[in-house]
Amino acid sequence: MKKPHFIITGFEPFLQHERNPSAEVAHHTAALLQQRYDQKAEHHTLPVTYDIARDFTTKLGASSDHILVHIGLAASRTHISLERRAHNACGTTPDNDQKLPGDLWSAPHGGLQQDGPQTSDTQLDLESLKQELEDYPHITLPEVRITHDAGTYVCNAIYYHSLQHNKNSVFIHIPPMEPKQCMELSQALAHALHTLTLSQPPQSDHQ
């Protein structure tokens, strides 16, 4: 069986947040997948812009052989959110370039994609991913939840556009974390992703 290629992304700091732990988790998780589990993995720290959210997957040439794992900071949350769904929606907060989708391309007011589906769901097994995270030994993670609302900012935007190319995508929102917590989550996440691919190989989305 062909091994999947993990593409793991985090974000740079944004708005009032001077540090974004999602970039640390993405970096450590990719390194652990390579070193401990002999998995193909790469990480990217992305700018918090709608432009990269729309174009990242296309520029990468991502295919159904890839598993896309996007990680972002949800500063008001205390739990880890495995997001099942992205929405064709955009709020009113500009990105780090002070832009909204309508400023960059022909996006509907308050939306991301003209004539695009209102929602798009991952086909990855989030229940198993949640269980593997919760069962990882010797560390205590924040509560893990499966949620259905990735927000209306750049996190939701990159998830929505990624799912148009590849249903083997997931967005993970994390609460504020110190470096030690980032490493612990990375250990659990690398193990969970590796185990997930052994038990359920990614499905082709035929898109």
Identify the pLDDT of residue 58: 83
**Least confident segment among 70-74, 163-167, 171-175:** 163-167
The set of residues, in sequence order, having a beta carbon less than 8 Å from that of 115 and lying 6+ positions away, is none
Q: 74 in a domain, yes or no? A: yes
Burial 126-139 (b: 16+ CB within 10 A, else e): beebbebbeebeee
Contact 120, 162 (CB under 8 A): no
DSSP reduced 3-state for 101: helix
CATH classification at residue 190: 3.40.630.20
Q: Hey, is 80 helix, strand or coil?
A: strand
Structural domain for 74, as ranges: 5-199
Residue 6 — pLDDT band, cuts 50, 70, 90? Answer: very high
Query: Backbone phi, then psi, for 140, in 5-degree steps?
Result: -120, 110
Percent of the chain with pLDDT over 70: 93
Residue 78 region by backbone torsions, left for phi larger than 0, else alpha for psi between -120 and 50, else beta: alpha
Residue 207 has pLDDT above 50, yes or no: no
pLDDT over threshold 80, residue 29: yes
pLDDT of residue 3: 82
Q: Is residue 193 part of a domain?
A: yes
**Would you state the pLDDT for residue 206?**
41
* Residue 159 scores a pLDDT above 60: yes
H helical segments located in 38-120: 50-60, 101-104
Residue 45 lies in a domain: yes
**Is position 205 within any domain?**
no
Q: What does pTM read for this prediction?
A: 0.93
> How does pLDDT run across 39-54, given as a tens digit for each residue?
999 999 999 999 999 9
Is the residue at 204 inside a domain? Answer: no
Torsion angles phi and psi, residue 121, rounded to 5 = -115, 150
Query: In this structure, are strands 66-73 and 169-174 parallel, antiparallel, or unpaired?
Result: parallel
| 53 in any annotated domain | yes
Please count the structural domains in the chain: 1
Average pLDDT, the chain: 92
Residue 84 DSSP code = -
Residue 124 lies in a domain: yes
Residue 82 in domain: yes
Give the separation between CA 10 and CA 71, rounded to whole angstroms: 5
Mind listing the pLDDT tens digit for each residue in 99-139? 999 999 989 999 999 989 999 999 999 999 999 999 999 99
